[in-house]
Amino acid sequence: MMRQAGSERAPDGESGESQNPQRSADPSSNQIKDPDEWVSGGEPMTGAQASYLKTLSEQAREPDAFDAGLDKAEASKRIDALKAKTGR
């Protein structure tokens, strides 16, 4: 009998989701981390970040908010600020 992908069960019938720290409701978990604490925060922003930041900066009518030389952490902070400003 073949099992379907993703149908494996955790030991004792648990779903395994409670053990995933990214799904934890505990505020001390690593679900949300300050961009300044990111291990890869100093790397150049991703293509997705650049695209989203460009779009948000145009929607907020703040073209100077976009800077192609930003690192991941700074891009994330600017995205959050522009999302708050545009209500997204």
Give, in order, the Cα–Cα distances in Å from 36 to each of 3, 74, 88. Answer: 43, 8, 23
State how far the Cα of 13 lies from the Cα of 40, in Å rounded to an integer: 36
74, two tokens: 């700074």
Is residue 76 within 8 A of residue 53, CB to CB? The reply is no
Q: pLDDT for 13-68, tens place per residue? A: 555 555 655 565 565 555 677 777 776 667 899 999 999 999 999 999 999 999 99
Q: pLDDT for 42-54, tens place per residue? A: 789 999 999 999 9
Give, in order, the Cα–Cα distances in Å from 52 to each of 33, 58, 76. Answer: 20, 10, 10
Q: Domain ranges in the chain? A: 35-88
Provide the terminal-to-terminal Cα distance of the chain, rounded to the nearest Å.
Answer: 48
Beta strands in the chain (DSSP E): none
